[in-house]
Amino acid sequence: MSENILLSFKGSKIINTEIKLTGSKSECNRALIISALSNGSVSVENLSFAADTITLDKVLKVLSTESEALNAKLIDIGPAGTAMRFLTAFLTNQTGKFVLTGTERMKQRPIAVLVEALKSIGADISYEENIGFPPLQISGPFIQTSASVKIKGDISSQYISALLMIAPTLPLGLTLTIEGELTSKPYVEMTLAMLANTGIGHEWNENIITIKPQAFNTSKLYVEPDWSAASYWYAIAALADEASIFLAGLNGYSLQGDSKITEIMANFGITSQFKEGGVYLKKEPKKLERKIFDLKDCPDLAQTVIVVCAALGHDCTFTGLETLKIKETNRVLALQTELAKIGVKLIEKNFSYKLDCSELYFPDQLFINTYEDHRMAMAFAPLALKINTLEIQEKQVVEKSYPYFWNDLAHAGFDLTTKY
């Protein structure tokens, strides 16, 4: 039975709390793949408790202990999109036959760009059902026929990261040409930095990244707390009357692209002071002057920032949202549908999205559909500071990236009730 969560915040809208966030899902999933590719030379510390990471960790552990099966081994990663992309590349260079699948929504999320890139260098992959989509049948290890591969840069940076991580284990290495504009560049930079921390060198000249065949050093990868999770606390600070929040473990020199939330939320009067092993958020009076936000490098912040702007009545424009339609749900459509419940329109025109808050209102009660998307639940949760009773569908959806989210909200003073 699905459980919903009822949220409210009684009394003065003042937030004064300290939160310890789980490890970054983005870093953790890369670290796990790198560790598996290194055959144990690379260890991982501060594993995330996110469901996607737990799923990937279990799959990799099973693959490392089970002998080669005569029949294709079924690997079901559920709704874990990053795991689907990373394992697609990883499995091509493992011994055995595999069928890689996931939820019904996962079967609707395109993966042809990555599959065709891998096939162009010799990988043995075929589509089990619909061309261009999971499930996939993969046989490995493949005989590499070329070191050169081309891939579009404006679809998903995870495709590029998936290729880069297996590159040092390939006999010919990899010379990867990124075609067109690169979306989410910080995530590619994160992958390369983590590889560098394990002894893997690379060259990046204009739109070409080259990684030669090379061995991993014996090393450790420490996963820092999740800046994506931190973004919801910035949103809470922005919608509160007063806020003083300490997020432990975060630093100002993060590999994570979503650390850009510090810059974005400064526009809303949220200051970030790094000290005492974390970051202090404080709300200060400020008039919003910036009206255009380019989220190309941090699309996972889109829902958070758009909901904050809508709730504050700011008619802002957003760009760089091209990948949102192929996420856990069509996030553009989901935002348009749910924001309409508070009278706000998100209008799409020529790859930009503009908020119309002229009819913004806050009903006494509001129900939010999550569409099985963890970020929909967490991006809309701060509206409990504006609405007396906020009901969010499928409370368990947050387990995908931030399993203790509801507990942390309770710790910060929100009232929570589970509705069956």
Q: What is the pLDDT of residue 327?
A: 78
Q: What is the Cα 31 distance to its own chain's centre?
A: 15
Q: Which residues are 151's β-sheet partners?
A: 178
- For residues 179 and 159, give the distance between their C-alpha atoms in angstroms, rounded to a whole number: 13
Q: What is the pLDDT of residue 205?
A: 96
Q: Which of 57, 226, 258, 300 is catalytic?
A: 300
Q: Yes or no: say if 269 and 286 are a contact pair by the CB < 8 Å rule.
A: yes
List CB contacts of 407: < 8 A, sequence separation 6 or more.
none
354 φ, ψ to 5°? -120, 135
Q: What is the pLDDT of residue 292?
A: 94
CA distances from 366 to 97, 362, 389, 419 (A): 48, 8, 7, 14
- For residues 324 and 322, give the distance between their C-alpha atoms in angstroms, rounded to a whole number: 6
Q: Yes or no: say if 68 and 232 are a contact pair by the CB < 8 Å rule.
A: no
CATH architecture of the domain formed by 25-221? Alpha-beta prism (3.65)
Q: What is the pLDDT of residue 68?
A: 56
Q: What is the pLDDT of residue 323?
A: 81
Identify the segments of the chain with pLDDT beneath 50: none
- Please state, rounded to an integer, the average pLDDT across all residues of the chain: 94
Q: pTM of the predicted model, to two decimals? A: 0.85
Interval 327-346: pLDDT, tens:
778 999 999 999 999 999 99
Interval 5-53: pLDDT, tens:
999 999 899 999 999 998 999 999 999 999 999 998 999 999 999 999 9
CA distances from 305 to 131, 278, 325 (A): 35, 22, 17
- For residues 265 and 232, give the distance between their C-alpha atoms in angstroms, rounded to a whole number: 11
Percent pLDDT > 90 in the chain is: 84
Tokens coding 300: 């996972």
4-22+224-419 against 25-221: fold identical: yes
- For residues 125 and 119, give the distance between their C-alpha atoms in angstroms, rounded to a whole number: 7
Instruction: Report the 10 Å Cβ neighbour count for 105.
Output: 16
Which residue has tokens 């974390």?
278
* One-letter amino acid of 373: D
Domain ranges of the chain: 4-22+224-419, 25-221
The verdict on whether 300 is a catalytic residue reads yes
Task: Report the interhelical angle of 112-119 vs 157-166 (nearest 10°).
Answer: 30
CA distances from 44 to 7, 73, 198, 226 (A): 36, 26, 11, 15
Q: What is the pLDDT of residue 268?
A: 95
- Please confirm whether the linkage preceding 213 is cis (ω < 30° from 0): no
Q: Yes or no: say if 317 and 291 are a contact pair by the CB < 8 Å rule.
A: yes
Q: What is the pLDDT of residue 70?
A: 55
Overall CATH class of domain 4-22+224-419? alpha beta
